[in-house]
Structure 1
Amino acid sequence: MNTLGYAILSALDRKPCSGYQLVDYLEVLWPAKHSQIYPLLTKMEQKGLLVYKYVEQIGRPGKKVFSITDTGKETLDKWVVESPTDPIIRDEFLIKMYSVWLTDEDNAKKLVQDRISILEQKVTSREKKIVKMEKEQESKGLDNVSKDFGRYILYSRRNLLDKEEISWCNWVLNLVKKKTSETFDRPSFHLSEK
């Protein structure tokens, strides 16, 4: 099974959900599209790793709500203790930055400003979810045995990374404005509190 399959099992181990909900839940774990998730759900169901319950909806088509099976939990338990492989980063924006010398200053700035805008929207949305998680955990106490702990720390991690990327993008914008005739100061990044 591929890593997306384990990400799906991890999400379903927290709570049953539809394929549509999985896309949202997996955003900080292993971003995937509906076209990737639905065929994999079918294969995983055929292997006995998950089951689904068909739920009728008023005014909308029915949906399948998936749950992890005992076999799925056993598979996930075995996998979670294995050493992970090296991360793979595939980001079209980074390729464009690598080739940014091929465009003019205005287009370069637009690429970076668009990225900043997207990241800021994600950070804002994610921070609302983080605050909600923190409020929910105030009464329960957040610890590493809570099913919500992993989700909380990954949302927080993603926000820190996105904030640092916004800092990097602003540094790049300054470089683009200075042009190549001046000396450049390398960015100094730091982890900040949210």
Structure 2
Amino acid sequence: MNTLGYAILSVLGRKPCSGYQLATHLEVLWPAKHSQIYPLLTKMEQNGLVVFEHVEQTGKPDKKIFSITEKGEESLGTWITGKTADPILRDEFLIKMYSMWMTDENQAKELIHDRIAKLEHKVALRDQKIAKVETEYSISSKHFGRYVLLNRSNLLDKEEISWCHWVLKIMENTNIIHFLLGIISAGTFNKIMQSISFFNEF
């Protein structure tokens, strides 16, 4: 089973969920699309790792509520004690930052400001979720993992927001330097050198 499968078991280990709820909870663990989640749930159900029950809804299609089985808990427990793979980071924004030299300054700033806005929105939403999560400092609590991971995501996003502002500051400072160099190249450099020579005579 792939990592997404274990992420699903981790969520279901806390409480039974529908497929839609699973996708929401997985955002902080291992983001996945519904097209990835549902086929995997079917395989996991066939392998006895999860079970589901149909819930009838008025005016809506019936939904399935999935729960972890004893076999699923055993599988998750065994996986947790194994070696952890190195993290994989794929972020389109970083590629664009790496290729910043191919665009102009206004577009570059717009890209960074857009990133800041999205990160700030995520942080605000997580703050609401954190406020609703029961604060638990015991590792035996099912709320503990979600609580610390939500806070971790917020800390990382806040750090990236600071980094984005740092990049913008570098761009501003570079503009100042280029402006000063432009003045000097326009003839001021010779006047400065003449002044230095004058004071050196004393």
SS at match of 1:36: helix
SS at match of 1:59: coil
Shift of 1:111: 0.8
User: What is the aligned-residue RMSD (CA, Å)?
Assistant: 1.5
In the TM superposition, 1:46-65 aligns within 5 A as 46-65=46-65
Per the alignment, residue 131 of structure 1 pairs with 131
Letter of the structure 1 residue corresponding to residue 89 of structure 2: I
* Match of residue 172, structure 2, among 172, 177, 183: 177
Shift of 1:90: 0.6
Output the CA distance in 1 between the equivalents of 2:167 and 2:81.
Answer: 39
Output the CA distance in 2 between the equivalents of 1:127 and 1:83.
Answer: 32
Indicate yes or no: 2:28 matched with 1:28. yes
Shift of 1:34: 1.1
Q: State the TM-score, normalizing by the size of structure 2.
A: 0.84
Output the CA distance in 1 between the equivalents of 2:10 and 2:62.
Answer: 24
Per the alignment, residue 186 of structure 1 pairs with none
Per the alignment, residue 6 of structure 1 pairs with 6
Per the alignment, residue 165 of structure 1 pairs with 160
Number of residue equivalences: 178
Output the CA distance in 2 between the equivalents of 1:16 and 1:71.
Answer: 15
Letter of the structure 2 residue corresponding to residue 178 of structure 1: N
Q: Deviations over 1:88-122 (max 9, x none)?
A: 00111111111111111111111111111110010
Report sequence identity in percent.
Answer: 63
Are the aligned partners of 1:108 and 1:176 in contact in 2 as well (CA < 8 Å)?
no
Output the CA distance in 2 between the equivalents of 1:62 and 1:52.
Answer: 12
Output the CA distance in 2 between the equivalents of 1:43 and 1:129.
Answer: 31
Greater relative contact order: 1 or 2 (C-alpha under 8 angstroms, separation 6 or more)?
A: 1
Runs of 5+ consecutive residues of structure 1 not aligned to the other structure:
184-194
SS at match of 1:177: helix
SS at match of 1:67: strand
Structure of larger gyration radius: 2
Runs of 5+ consecutive residues of structure 2 not aligned to the other structure:
179-202
Output the CA distance in 2 between the equivalents of 1:99 and 1:178.
Answer: 20
SS at match of 1:54: strand
Output the CA distance in 2 between the equivalents of 1:107 and 1:176.
Answer: 12
Indicate yes or no: 2:142 matched with 1:147. yes
Q: State the TM-score, normalizing by the size of structure 1.
A: 0.87
Indicate yes or no: 2:103 matched with 1:108. no
